[in-house]
Each structure stands twice: as C-alpha cells, then as structure tokens.
Chains A and B, each alone.
Chain A
Amino acid sequence: MPEGRQPILELQGITKSFGGVEALRGVDFALLPGEIHGLVGENGAGKSTLMKIIAGVHTEFSGRFLIDGAETHFRSARDAHAAGIAMVHQELSVAPDLTVAENVFLGNQPTNALGLVQWRRMAREAGEQLSRFGIDVDPMSRLGDLPIGLQQLIEIARVLFSGARIVILDEPTSALSPPEVERLFTTLRRLREQGTAIVFISHFIEDILRVSDTVTVFRNGRKVTETASADTTKGALIEAMIGRGGEALEHSYSDDLILPRPSDSSVVLKVDQLSLTRSLQDVSFEARAGEVLGIYGFMGCGQQELSRILFGKLKPDAGTLIVEGKPKTFASTAAARRAGVALVPESRRAMLFHQEPVFKNISISILDRISSLLLKPAQEREIAKRQVEQLQIRPPVVGLDLGMLSGGNQQKVALAKWLTYPPKLLVLCEPTRGMDVGAKNDVINIVRDLRARGLAIIVLSTEPETVLSLADRILVLKRGAVVREFKNEPVSKDRLLEAA
C-alpha cells in the first residue's frame, strides 16, 4: 500500500483479556484512509474483539489507541460513533416492522420545525441513497417483508451512508446472493475512492482477496501476518490462519486424515432436493446406520435451517425426507420424534429446562414410554441416574436444578435425553462448541459409542475440528448448497476450508 500516508486509525500493543483469558495479545493494527482492509482468522482468534474495541463496545484494554495521530480513549459506542466509526454486526439489527426509509434514517429522521417527521423527504432521500447502492425498493414498504439478503444490504447501506470515516463490516456477505455481493463490492470500492477506510471481516477468503487492499490474519489473539492482497493466495492465508506444526494442546487436524470406506449399511434417512427460500438449494444426501455424517460450513450456510427441517420445526418449500424408506412430512417436532429422529440444537438454552431438576430434563422426551397416564417419578430418577453415571455428568445428583450444572455437563444432559430409547437418527448441532478439552473428549466418545450401537448420526458444525473429529463422511455446505463431499479419501482442515 502507498507509504507515507498518515493512518486514520492506529492501535499499538493492544491486549485485552476476559476473566483471565487473553483474547488479544499485543496487537498492532493500522488503517489508512481509502483502504479496504480484510481481516481473517478462525472463530475466537480475536478479530471481533479488536473490532469491538475500535467501535467503543469494549472500553477496558491496555495499549495505545490513536485517531488521526492523536491518542483517544472511547468510553462508549456513542463516542466511537461521534468520531466517525460505524460497524455492521454479523447479526441483523434492523427494525423489521418499520419501513425501509425509517430503517435507513433510524435515529436521525429528518424533522420539520415542530419536530414532526418529514415523511415525504425521508422517503425521497432514502430512495436516492439506496438506488446509488443499486437497491431498487419502495422506501415505504415494510422492511421485514423483504428477503433477508436485501434487509442486510439496506442495513449496510445505512451505515455506509451515515457519513462514517471508518466502517467495519463483520461477515457482511454470508446472507447475500452473488449479485448482491457484487453490488456491495461496487459500493465499497466507490467509498474507498472517497477516502473512507473499511474493515472487512469474512470467512469467505475469496471475497476478501477480491475486494480488499490489505489482509491481516489473526490466530489465538495475535496478529500473524499482514500482507497486500495482491501478494498472497487463499492457500497461504489458510495456512497462516490455522498454523502449521500443531499447537500440541489439541489435535490440530492440519494433517490429512483418511476417511473410511463408505458404509453400506441401511439408509436411515434420505434427503432429496430440499429447498428453503434463501437458505437451502436442492440439498440431497443420505445418512446410514452406524455412520457419522459431518456437515461443515460457515455461519449462515444453511446448517441451522437444515437441522430444523429434519426435526419437523421448519417446513421446507420443496423436497422430501425419506425415513427408512417412507416419505415423511413432519407436522410437528412430536411427529419427528415418533418417527425416530432426535435433535440436539446448538443452543442449550433452547433445549433444556434450567429451572427444573436434571431428571425431569432427561425424562421429558421419553415420558410417553414410561407412563401412559400417571407419572412414575421413581422410574424417571432411576433412568436419569443411569444416564448420569454413563455420561459421567457432574455433580451426579439427579434432583439438582439443571441451571446449577456447568455448560459441558448441561450439554451431556441434552444428549442424555435421547439415549434411553435411542432414536434411529440423531442430529447434533455444534455438539462441542464452547467446551473444554475434557468435556469435548467425553462427547466425542459418547458419539462414537452411539455409532457403534447402529445409530445414524448427523453432526453439523461451523468448526472444522468438530466435524473432523467425529465424521466418517463429510459434506460441505456453502450458501445453502452442497458443494463437496469427502468420503474414503484424505481430508484436513485446509481442504475443508478450501472447499467452503
């Protein structure tokens, strides 16, 4: 990049820790005006933490923070905003019930002398701004009625046109279709010409290479490299992200792992041409008894929707589910459960009853097997005790409220619900997310044991390690479509990331 220009933003030796865990260790970061700066790294590498410091969300950290060469300390996100820094977060933060125009002007609607909103002016200006962005919508339509990708573009447009000098985009393209990504990039390049500095965080390395001038790679809270985008490749970036030579603490999966020969046991689930608006396109695959099928993809690739469809929580727009040779349309999750499908979603909160004792959490899904009319609490406790022993849930007290257990033990309870009368198909979303190494290993062993008992298991994860440690066969999901299947061949973290 051109030398000699004064950085608009400069961070020196930034260290930030959360409860004793260092999220950032002595990071230097500089942003030039008129630059698009790409940021890559695995989940938890420290990208988001750094951006939240810049946006004034995290205010406690050590290190120097300079804007236009002058040392600054933000006390809130409001301070950052006043300094011309704006951020688009990964999760949509729009008001779906307001109009497009209101969303564009959220917080600073044009008003007349009486303080009343000037609707006509607002609609006109919103329309003009959006059409400069290539978005052609009626500014007075309700935002929530538009497709998700368009909503995201409108949110990005709002931030880009807010007059900010520094714009941070966190995973802006995950919900966008290719033409929408194109429009976004065109606008970003135009803003760059006007001197705006843009930070672009993405898992999609091709996107980063296409649009950014400079790329910085983070790993384990450190800045690993910073290079001009023109001088690097996807492979080199992936290597920098995951690091060669293993971190010793945990299997790093940087080396090739040989997947076994595909199983020829009976097909438990066949998914045929499954589609869901904006989430899934013609997804087809089979899951076999005694086999773990891993489905890997980035956040927002459609995994979540897929798992919900398999468990009858979402209805697909098209496509069929065939369970043990019979086509099924699940009217409810209860119907899916009766057909032998079980789901452990990624959020423990969504699947457990925190204010109820452990044994009620374990028995809830099998109550109809142990009692027809009257409850049998003694038997419930007995079953729960067996599961608690088998899965080594700590503390081993079935009468304790679930909320008193640690996260890893809660995750085991979430599994235990389904194990007394094992289902035919077990769908696990992010089964080891946020767990320490010991709990992770326990879960891996439980899953292997279930596979040995002949269950068909589907593991969906955004973490390559999770999929690699569990799966016999791996599908890669990208923007709602299956783009690659790994079977009976070598696979590694690089190869997975490359495919996604």
Chain B
Amino acid sequence: MASSETAPAAGQRGKGLAPFLRSQMRNIAPFLTLIFLSAFFAFASPSFATIDNLGNILTQVSVTGVIAVGLTFVILCAEIDLSIASIANVTGIAVAYFTLQESYVNIPNIPLPGAAAILLAVLLCAALGLVNALGLTVIGIPSFIMTLAMMQIAAGISALLVRGQIAYKVPSLISTLGSGSIGGIPWIVIVAAIMLLAGHLVLTYTRFGRYVYMVGGNREAAEYSGLNVKLILGAVMVISAVCSGVGGMLGVAHFGSAQQNEFDTYLLDSIAAVVVGGTSLFGGRGGIGNTIVGLFVLGVLNNGLDHVNIDSFLKILIRGVILLVALIINVYAQRLREQAAE
C-alpha cells in the first residue's frame, strides 16, 4: 500500500522524469501516434504532406470536431452519448425541412424564414438532449442505454421528416458556414475551431468546467461536497446534443443534401476522436486539447489511407484496430496515473 519508492516525504521536487512521463502518458501517447502516422504517410505518399492536403484534412474533421466538443464534456463526466450522430442527422434534416425546397423535392415540408428554421432546429436538438438528461438524472437510466434509445428515436424522427426523400436547400447562413469559405479558408473549419476554443475555455476557466472535471473525477465526492451532480450531468447531455445539432446542420450544408443515415459514421468517429486523444473513459482527465489531437490522428489516418494504395475495405479494419489500440492505451494510462498518485 504505502509505496515509499517516490519518497513523498522528500517533497515533490525531486520526483524525476520517469514518474512525470508516466503520469503524462495520456497526453504523450496520442501525440506520438499523430507524429508517427504523419511521418509514415508523408514517407509513403508524396501527395500527403502538402498545404492543400492539410486543408483537406482540416475540412474533413470539422463536422466531427464540432460534435466532439460536446462529447468531450460527456466523457469527462464518465458518461457516454451514443445519440450524437442521430441527433446531428435529425437536426440537419429539420433545418432543411423548414426551408423552401426546389419543386422536384417531394417532401410535404413547412418552409419558414431562415432564422426561424435554424431556431427550430436548435430547439429540436436541445429538446432531444433534455430528454437524454431527464432519462439519465431523473429516471436513472444509464447513459449508455438512454442514448441508445435516443439514437433510434432521433433516427425515427429523421425518417418521418424526409420519408425516404432527399432535401437539398438549407438557410443561406447555414449553407455559407457549411460550404463557403473566406480568404481561402473554409467557414466550416473556422466554426469548428471557434467551437473547440469555446469548449476549451468553458472547461478550463469557468466554474461549470471545474464542476465537470470534479464530477468526473469522483462523483461521490462531488455529491458530498454539495454539488448538484444531476444538474451538471443533465447540462452536459444538453450541451452534447446541441453541439451535435450544430455539426449536423453544417454537415448537411457541407454535403449538399439532407437524408436518412447520412451521419452514421460520425458516431464512431467522434467517440474515437475523444478517446484516441486521451480523455479518460473513467472521467475527470483530458479535455478539448486532447480531443484536437484525437481529431488530427483520425483525420490523418482517414486521409492518409486514401493517399496510399490500399484496399478500401481494409481501411475499415485498420481504423478498428487503431481504435482498439487507443482504448488499450487509455485504460493503461489511467492505471499508470493511479500508480503514480499512490
């Protein structure tokens, strides 16, 4: 029990490099992975390491990035949200549903002014997040199950809205942010960067952010410290849904269409980005900085695999293996840290 190896009596100064590195494994490992992957693809393909391609990678991870902001809050609280992709999908479809479509689109929709369409779409995703929050905190359904149900519910609403059709038009603000660019930089990258920055600022500099870390670090202690744990958990579920909704609206504009099952791959990608980045699945450790590294790892991997000549079916398997390795590192880093703390 009492490990005198690190000699706490001698103070914290003479700790040495090894224990420090061990306690920082969670942050170092993803970074090394990123450098390794980048170097590998740069070596394997001359078209990979170019400014143009960097722009591609940034654009490709933007929608995931927006969704991952909210998910980072959830995972920091040691909860999970499996409904993010479905909520993104239904919000994207909703904003198109409330926009006037071309006459050949055969959806009985309700055209409204752009601002109203956006407002209704945001309200929809916030409401779905609130249902998640109530299920988790008031009824006490584990978030894994609650959001699994929500995944199906949101998919169901999507299906009812588009009825197998495809809508194309979204309000002009959304279409600019999703597919326009300014000074050569795509708006979607700027929006993702702003959302990530905002998430980071909230987590690091606000009282709420501190509560998120403390609830994730030790939920029982948070309760015994007189924090309203349920309120905090509820809030992160709503934040997650709203971020997903924003990602969904931008995504629809970016892809140029709104249809069923359009975001299915974003569930795994967003969870992978957060976890690969090193945010602890047990809560309390990590943050937006980690998520950004995770996004780049994922972006470089997806993009790089397109640059090297590889069976496109094998790509799926490779992504799975990388995710597994990241999970192993995540769990292992937690253990190392706990050992370092003792």
Contact = CB atoms under 8 A, between A and B. Distances in A.
Interface in A362-378: 364-365, 367-368, 371-375
Contact of B341 (A351, A397, A403): A403
Interface in A332-375: 332-334, 336-338, 342-343, 345, 349-356, 360, 364-365, 367-368, 371-375
Contacts of B231: 334
B11 interface: yes
B176 to A, nearest CB: 31
Contacts of B8: 404
Contact of B217 (A313, A338, A349, A353): A353
B217 A355 contact: yes
Contact of B206 (A354, A374, A401, A417): A374
B342 A403 contact: yes
Given A353-B221, A355-B337, A368-B207, A360 B214 contact: yes
B68 to A, nearest CB: 24
Interface string A67-85: 0000000000000000000
A397 B337 CA distance: 20
B225 A351 contact: yes
Contacts of B217: 353, 355-356
Nearest to B217: A353
Interface string B272-286: 000000000000110
B125 to A, nearest CB: 24
Given A352-B221, A353-B221, A356-B214, A372 B227 contact: no
B264 interface: no
Nearest to A373: B206
State the majority secondary structure of interface residues on B. Answer: helix
A250 B284 CA distance: 42
B50 interface: no
The listed residue with most A CB atoms (<10 A of its CB), out of B213, B214, B221, is B221
Contacts of A350: 220-221, 224
Given A374-B206, A375-B205, A332 B12 contact: no
Contacts of A333: 223-228
Interface residues of B, number: 31
Contacts of A332: 228-230
A404 B207 contact: no
Given A350-B224, A375-B207, A364 B214 contact: yes
A2 to B, nearest CB: 45
Given A353-B214, A403-B341, A403-B342, A367 B207 contact: yes
A19 to B, nearest CB: 8
A371 B284 contact: no
A315 B221 CA distance: 19
B210 interface: yes
B12 A367 contact: no
Interface string A398-413: 0011011000000000
A395 B11 contact: yes
Interface of A: 311, 313, 332-334, 336-338, 342-343, 345, 349-356, 360, 364-365, 367-368, 371-375, 395, 397, 400-401, 403-404, 417
Closest 9 A/B residue pairs (Cβ): A337-B226, A334-B228, A403-B341, A351-B224, A365-B225, A364-B225, A350-B220, A353-B217, A404-B8
Interface of B: 8, 11-12, 205-207, 209-211, 213-214, 217-218, 220-231, 284-285, 337-338, 341-342
8 contacts: A332-B228, A333-B223, A350-B220, A355-B217, A356-B214, A367-B210, A367-B211, A397-B12
